[in-house]
Every structure is written in C-alpha cells, then in structure tokens.
Structure 1
C-alpha cells in the first residue's frame, strides 16, 4: 500500500484539491484500507491507534457522500469529548474547504443548546457531537435521524468506557435500517463487539497494528523526584532545554492549579486547562496556546485527546497517569508531523510500578535520567548570557552609554570589573532564583526518603492507595471520626470514574440527595479511572441501587449495583 495515492482511492476532484492544498502526499495505512470500503457503502470496523490518521479516513469519504443541494443532516459523527468533537469538526472544514456551501456543526454539552438548535434548523450537512447532547437534540426533534445516511462512531471504546452505551444505542436505534455505520476504535473489547453485532451490517474489519504504541520521533525518559521537588526539577529542565511549546499533564485539577501558580510565580508564561474551567475559556486558552501566546499549558487528561497542535516540542508527565493508554495519548501530543519531540515523566515511590506497566504496554524502554544540578542550570544560563552579549557587540552598539563607562573608569574601576558587574546584573534580571532540594545531596536515596513520614507533601493525597485509585473516607456529617469498613457495610459499583471527572462530592450528593439514604450511611469512596467503589450501609444498599438505576452522574448514564468483586 506504500505506493497508493489519494487519487487511487476514488475521491472526487474537489476533495483531492483540498488534500493537495493541505500538503498531504500519500494516505496513511488506515486511510488507504478504509476509504475504498466506505465509498462502496460497506460498514466497517476500523481498529487504529491515535495519530494514525483515522479522522481523515472517515471524513474524506463522508464528504464525498454528501449532497450539497439537500439542506438536511446526512452524516452524524459521535465523539466522546467536546475537545475531540471540535477537533473533528475543524478537520471536516479543512478537508471540505473546496466544497462550496458545506455546513458542519459541532454540538456538545457545556454550551447553550438554543444556539445549537438555531444552527441545526438552518441546515447542516454534517453533525459532530457528543452522545449526551445529540440525544437531547433527538428528543427535541432538532436532530432528524431519518435523513442520516452515514453514522460514524469515533473512539467507540472510549465512549463506552465513559458510560455512553445507552445513549449510543438510542441514537443508532432511531436511524433508518439502510444507513451505513462506521465503528472506529483503538481497541476491541466485549462492549465494542456487542455494539457492532447489534448495529453493524456485516462490517468489514480494517485493522492497523503498529509494532509500538508510541511515536518513534518522541524520546522518552523519567526522573525520580519527590512531590515537593517537582516544580524545581521542572523549571531546571525548562531552563536547560527551553521548548517552544510544552504541555504539562497532571492527574488532578488541584495539581494543575498549584503547578500553574508556581510556574507563573517564577516568571514563566503559562495557562491551564481542566474540567472546572468554562467551555468558552477553555476554547480561548487552546486558541492562545496554538498561536504561541504562552509557552506552557498545564492540563488534566481532559485535554489530552482534544489538543491538535503540531508545534508542541515537549510533554511533561508532572503526575504519572494511572492508565498506560492515557500515557500514549499524552505523549502523542508531541513529535507530530515528523518533528522530534520529547516526553518527560516524574515518578516517585510506587509510581515506578505504573511506569513498568507503561513500558510493557508500549513495548518501549523509558530511560532514567539524573536530575540536573543548579550548577548545570547556571552554566547554561551563563552561556546564553554570553551569546546574548556577543551578539549585541557584533551589531552597532549604542554609544550614548559611553559617558557612563567613562565615569566608572574615572572612579578607578577597571574595564573587567565593569563588565563583570553588568554581567551580574543581566544574570539577576534574566535568571530565575532556584532552590536546593533533597535530590541534590549525594547521599540522597529515594527508598530511604520515602520512609520519612515527616515530609507530608510526599505522602499520597488523603486516602490514596497507589495504583488502585484514590480512596476517601466519608466523615460523619455530624462531625464524627472517619468511618472504618465494617461487616455492616457493602460495596456499591458505579461504572463512572476519574475519566468522567467524577469527584467524591458528586457521589455523596447523589447518594444522599437522590438516593435518600440516612446520614452517615456512606463509608470509603474509591475512584478509579473507569469506575468507582463506594461502601454503604447494607440496610440501605438495595434501596439506593433501585433509586439510582435511571439517574445520571456528571450528566452521564451509568451502571450501578453491588460489587461482585467485594
């Protein structure tokens, strides 16, 4: 397939012109294999990792199938997050740039639905949306499934993991039997298989298996560093090898806030993205970062799948992710379009086991590096300062300062002393004040340091239990002590977790508010990436499961029941 061109795939002249104008030379493997099947009207199952070009693989044939003379929705694309939804819609406009009158509309939660209703009533050939918001439009009859000829599920596995199964089934079930369906997924699991069996029409499988799950142009390394030393180590790395644009990933919103505040206080141009930031502000921040208005973007994984910026030179895993797949998505933000990138991870204590899981998953070795010293950083700054002054001297020097130099010479200062003083002032104005950290000591050993119980900032956050998730103990609402797990407690399973931005407060509010259970009925809460476990009093467990069976958490449907593993 290496000699295949876009013209060989049966695409129209308008689409080929758009492709040529964007500078694409040849189709990726997933595009070369999937596009002909789609144009023949076949359902397909596309198994391909992030960064393989799958968005264009379904967008190009979708554009060709549209009748621009009909002002009705003909293509429906389901995406798991609003970031990815916007990214796909932007790709539709780019690839369809030569199609006059093409209209594509993104619809997702977090923005006024009235504006979306107006856009849909004006007529949209392609609708790109998240399942929950699309279902809202279906119920309001602003989405008419009878006109949809092609339905595309982008990252089907991710949407199922996020609890969108029923929404997806309702949307697909509302369409005409003769519509074409494309299932794109990074992995094939039982949930994806069931969805395909129910709604697929003898789909053709297109599978692209890479030897590694990470980009070959990305160099990967890690530093063993305590939580309290992360900011200092991060700034040393940034000063030693300043990236043009860099993304710093944290596991929690609080960590994002603290890291952003620390970096801006040290003089770096930085901004942040996480779930508590409003949608318009997030879009504005992403746009400013893409335009290079600031250098460092600190974000949670909510942005990992939505950022589509070719110029990101480095990714820092300020917190190592729980899920190896999230690691792949994170570092996929750099090393794009053939450019070189680097991925740096900070680990400490039990994080090393997560790192080993990532290495097994990616089938790549991640090299350990030694933390740079303050002296190394100062040396680099001195070299930069020297080059700065040398460059200025090679140009025409402003002679208006000559009388100041003459006055200093008249006072008995030598030319060497004057130059040294100027260098010192420049260093102070341009440099950042570093700090000494325990890792600088030649006697420092991570294993011993981990046992130092006095260092509270290096402990996991309250209740955290390593890779198993974040564990929280619910305090008695009347001010009592933490409730231990006892025989009167049973464990409830909820099919939403940290990937859906679920917080302990969300669960508690739902249990006490909608569930109507007595005070002090909830014990520990454990948040995992894709699910949550909650200890509740066994006397009210059945009542709770029954009342919440049709509820939504963070505006998402979920499964709830007694934990079978408990």
Structure 2
C-alpha cells in the first residue's frame, strides 16, 4: 500500500451529530430542521461540552455556535430535568429571541420551555413567565438584573449552565458591571460557556472571572470575509451620498438589500426617503419598540419588504437567511464591524455583494479595512447621467423626510443623530436598570444568593 493510500485509509471519517454523542431525541430534532452536518465549531465544542467542561469558543457570526452550546445543554437537561436549568446572556433583544427559538425547535421533543427577558417590553408578563419555571432563560443583562432585584421569588440559585454569547459585544456595550453583579448571585458550581468573535483584553478578564479550566476552541483565527462575497466601493462627494444610494437601490431593485447607517437618525431618514420614492423599505434600530423591531425583521425575512435600513443592531448574530446586497451608507469606524456587516450576505456558501459609499473623508478607513481583509475593493460602475436625473427627486424626498422627522421630534418621538452601534448611547442596552440609571440594590441582590 502506498503512503498516499495509507494516509487516505487512516483519515478520520467526517463527523456526524451521532458520532459527536448526541441522543436520538436531538438527532430527530436536527433532522426536522434539516441540519444534517455539524459545522466546525459544533464538531469541536460538543464533545468537550458533553464531558462537562467549561468552554471558550472563538468563532465568527454565522458559524453555528448557538447550536454548539444549545445541544449539550439540552442533552444534559434530558438527563436531569430540573427547573431553571440554563441562562444565556445576549447583547441584543433580537439575538435573544433568535437563541430562544433555536432552543425550542431543538428541544421540541423534550417540551423545553424558554423565557425571553429583554428590555423594551413590559416587565409583568416577564415576571409571570419566570414564575412558570422555564428550563432556559435567554436575557439581555440589564433586564435580567432588574428581575433579580425586583421580581419576588425569582433567582438563579440552582442554575446549572451559564452562557455568555457574543461576549465581546456584551462588553463593548458596557455591560461589564451588570454581568459582574449577575455572577455574584449565581452558583459557583456551574458549567459556563463563553462565545466571542474576538478575544479582547476585556473578554480575557471576563473569562478569568467566570470560567474554570476551560477548553479553548477556535475555528476562525483572524477576521476575514468569505470568498463568495464580491466587495465594491463607490467614491463620491459627501453631499451626493443620498442620490448615489437611491441610484444603487434603483439599479438593484430586484434584490434583497440591507443598508447600514451609523446613526438612528439616518436610518429613520433614509427609510422615509426611500418610501417616498416608492421603495419598500423598513427601518431597524435601537429606538424602535420591541414589537416594531421584530415586525421589521419578520417583514424583511419573509420578503414583504425588500430593503432593511439598519444601524449595527442588525450587524451581528441575526440569522437572516438570504440577503443579496449589503450597502454601507456610512463606513464603520472599526474594521471588525465592517466584516460583521458584510457577513449578512454570502452566507452558507451563497454568493453576495457589498457596496461601500466612500467620501473624501473616508479614504483612510477604507484603506484600513482593506488591510485587515487583505483584499482590495473594486470600483462599482455608475451612470452619471442617471444620477443627475435622480438628484431633484431625491432632494425633494429628503425635504419631506426632514419635515416628517421634525414633526416626530416635536411630539417627543425621537432623539436625533444618535449612534446605535454600542457604548452608553446605544438603546440596545435596552434594560430598565441600565437606561434609567437605577442603582444596584445590594441588599436585594444579597438576599438572592
């Protein structure tokens, strides 16, 4: 036998969910959702998790990490069906709902009960849901802390699993102190999973505080974009951004498009501009109510609206199966945010395009992004005559949008021009404790240990 044949015969067969050690109930659930082959992160994480080890998972968005932690938790729950079993902390409301849906679909044969505890919705129905003893609580940190302080009878004293999902984003959004307060009132004898797209110094500090002898699993060594993504740029004067955006949307009208803006104000303004010009656009940002945000996502996912105008609330974690085009109306300050944004398209082996509007003030940012992704963007071709013909109509739509937003402001509706990408201004911090600046009630917290 030749050395090549020997190598081929000794090569390990590709992993299956069954070979990873999952029980029949979960295998059937995976079959029902048409998830047949484990992803890299699932292949690496699940065997260690089933052995009861703490896990640090470093993986990019779209890698299948939700199932990587949900499946082992559900298997352990099957073996030991007791009360409130697991708590998952997520940075955004939409991601929390999405994680809950995955738990419920994968645990459907077990009758798994989940409660989603996020800001932007009334607290009383949440307290009722918690009183029903769900198996899994998926929460944003501030609202969970509020219930730990204020909801009688609710605590995490018997918790078996804690998951910190998108840990780098949680910490970028200044949830660090809130997470510290939550860690103080949950059992030290627990299993902890921490998943992050990057290992920042803040994440490393959180790891040391919350995990014991963890196994580190890394399936994405560096930030990069997928090979099936075609990346373009449009170099334009700042004053012509709106008309060039409308030109692109008009030229790509048959596609599903996400337009990313830096501020809530621009997301709202551009949605009105596009609707005025006859395009089916819907906004998604942190100053909408939770029902509005979920409604916008549902319309876009179903194809009822072709265009989603969003802040970075939509750049990470959300599973939007088919997006043809991502347009960066504003260039993100951090290269990793660019990668998360354009990662909304060209998913699961499909092709996709991204187009970034570059003004005279953005050249350095684009060069930095190109250096990180090790790829040069190509120039998107345009027809100057068509753009010129659109200018007057776009300017008129802009005036209509400005008046409409002014009316909303006068009614106390929207705070204009605010960043929605993270930090203390981000409404996606979304929780009564954090937004209202409510001091931590140390006495109540102590009583819940």
Q: What TM-score do you get using the length of structure 2 for normalisation?
A: 0.82
Structure 2 residue aligned with 1:346: 357
Match of 1:117 among 124, 127, 148: 127
Structure 1 residue aligned with 2:341: 330
TM-superposed deviation, 1:257: 2.1
Structure 1 residue aligned with 2:330: 319
TM-superposed deviation, 1:66: 1.1
TM-superposed deviation, 1:80: 1.0
Specify whether residues 557 and 352 from structure 1 end up closer, same or farther in structure 2 by C-alpha distance, changes over 3 A only.
farther
Structure 2 residue aligned with 1:218: 229
1:173 aligns with 2:181: no
**Separation in structure 2 between the aligned mates of residue 92 and residue 217 of structure 1, nearest angstrom:** 30
Report if the CA contact (8 A) 2:286-2:420 is conserved.
Answer: no
How is 1:47-58 mapped onto 2 (pairs within 5 angstroms)? 47-58=58-69
Report if the CA contact (8 A) 1:44-1:183 is conserved.
Answer: yes
Over residues 36-83 of structure 1, what are the superposed CA-to-partner deviations in whole Å (9 max), with x where a residue is unaligned?
111100011111111111111111111111148846210110111112
1:238 aligns with 2:161: no
Q: CA RMSD in A?
A: 2.8
**Separation in structure 2 between the aligned mates of residue 64 and residue 106 of structure 1, nearest angstrom:** 21
Report if the CA contact (8 A) 1:49-1:213 is conserved.
Answer: no
1:162 aligns with 2:85: no
Structure 1 residue aligned with 2:320: 309
TM-superposed deviation, 1:309: 1.3
Specify whether residues 209 and 69 from structure 1 end up closer, same or farther in structure 2 by C-alpha distance, changes over 3 A only.
closer
Over residues 225-279 of structure 1, what are the superposed CA-to-partner deviations in whole Å (9 max), with x where a residue is unaligned?
2233223222332333334311111111221122112211211111111222111
Match of 2:435 among 554, 561, 565: 554
Over residues 128-174 of structure 1, what are the superposed CA-to-partner deviations in whole Å (9 max), with x where a residue is unaligned?
00111111122235542122111111011211121111221222221
Structure 2 residue aligned with 1:527: none
**Separation in structure 1 between the aligned mates of residue 80 and residue 215 of structure 2, nearest angstrom:** 30
Structure 2 residue aligned with 1:483: none
Specify whether residues 557 and 227 from structure 1 end up closer, same or farther in structure 2 by C-alpha distance, changes over 3 A only.
farther
Report if the CA contact (8 A) 1:222-1:346 is conserved.
Answer: yes
Q: What TM-score do you get using the length of structure 1 for normalisation?
A: 0.66
**Separation in structure 2 between the aligned mates of residue 54 and residue 229 of structure 1, nearest angstrom:** 41
TM-superposed deviation, 1:111: 0.7
**Separation in structure 1 between the aligned mates of residue 368 and residue 118 of structure 2, nearest angstrom:** 34
Report if the CA contact (8 A) 1:243-1:313 is conserved.
Answer: no
1:256 aligns with 2:267: yes
Specify whether residues 10 and 90 from structure 1 end up closer, same or farther in structure 2 by C-alpha distance, changes over 3 A only.
same
1:104 aligns with 2:27: no
Report if the CA contact (8 A) 1:236-1:372 is conserved.
Answer: no
Match of 1:193 among 201, 204, 207: 204
TM-superposed deviation, 1:217: 1.8
**Separation in structure 1 between the aligned mates of residue 310 and residue 348 of structure 2, nearest angstrom:** 22
Structure with the bigger RCO (C-alpha within 8 Å, sep 6+) is 2
Structure 1 residue aligned with 2:425: 502
Over residues 267-315 of structure 1, what are the superposed CA-to-partner deviations in whole Å (9 max), with x where a residue is unaligned?
1111111222111111111111111111111111122225321121111
**Separation in structure 2 between the aligned mates of residue 556 and residue 81 of structure 1, nearest angstrom:** 19
How is 1:22-421 mapped onto 2 (pairs within 5 angstroms)? 22-67=33-78, 70=81, 72-99=83-110, 101-139=111-149, 140-210=151-221, 213-305=224-316, 307-374=318-385
Query: Aligned residue pairs: how many?
Result: 401
Q: Mark the runs of 5 or more structure 2 residues left unpaired by the alignment.
A: 1-11, 394-416, 440-449
Report if the CA contact (8 A) 1:219-1:342 is conserved.
Answer: yes
Specify whether residues 166 and 136 from structure 1 end up closer, same or farther in structure 2 by C-alpha distance, changes over 3 A only.
same
How is 1:469-480 mapped onto 2 (pairs within 5 angstroms)? none
Partner of 1:146: helix, strand, or coil?
coil
Partner of 1:262: helix, strand, or coil?
helix
**Separation in structure 1 between the aligned mates of residue 331 and residue 200 of structure 2, nearest angstrom:** 25
How is 1:425-436 mapped onto 2 (pairs within 5 angstroms)? 434-435=390-391
Partner of 1:316: helix, strand, or coil?
strand
Report if the CA contact (8 A) 1:134-1:143 is conserved.
Answer: no
Partner of 2:116: helix, strand, or coil?
strand
TM-superposed deviation, 1:215: 2.4
Report if the CA contact (8 A) 2:84-2:159 is conserved.
Answer: yes
**Separation in structure 2 between the aligned mates of residue 147 and residue 56 of structure 1, nearest angstrom:** 23
**Separation in structure 2 between the aligned mates of residue 256 and residue 160 of structure 1, nearest angstrom:** 24
Structure 2 residue aligned with 1:489: none
**Separation in structure 2 between the aligned mates of residue 216 and residue 142 of structure 1, nearest angstrom:** 51
Q: Mark the runs of 5 or more structure 1 residues left unpaired by the alignment.
A: 379-432, 438-471, 473-495, 507-529, 531-550, 559-566
TM-superposed deviation, 1:10: 0.6
